[in-house]
Amino acid sequence: MEKLKVGTLIQDMGKLGIITKVITSGTLKTDNELIKWRNNYEIFYSDGTIAILGEATLHRLVQKGDVIIL
């Protein structure tokens, strides 16, 4: 699967979301080690929530059909 870009719209369990950041490994300043060593996507949802999902996790959810790229 190709890398997703900022501005990509997704549907996640019925909620509309947009990728607002692509965080490459080691660039996010955080104390969470899991976020530092993998690529992540920051997603802003239409209900106002923000999530950071790992690249592999998001791609797996797309393959399962739980997340749809619009």
The confidence score (pLDDT) of residue 2 equals: 72
Single-letter amino acid code for the residue at 43: I
pTM of the model: 0.79
The confidence score (pLDDT) of residue 39 equals: 84
Pairwise pLDDT comparison (3 vs 62), residue with the higher score = 62
Token pair of 21 as six digits: 């950041």
pLDDT per position as a tens digit, 14-70: 999 999 999 886 655 666 665 556 788 999 999 999 999 999 999 999 999 999 999
Tell me the C-alpha to C-alpha distance, in Å, between residue 30 and each of 8, 18, 20, 45.
24, 22, 18, 22
Helix, strand, coil share of the chain (percent; to 5): 20, 40, 40
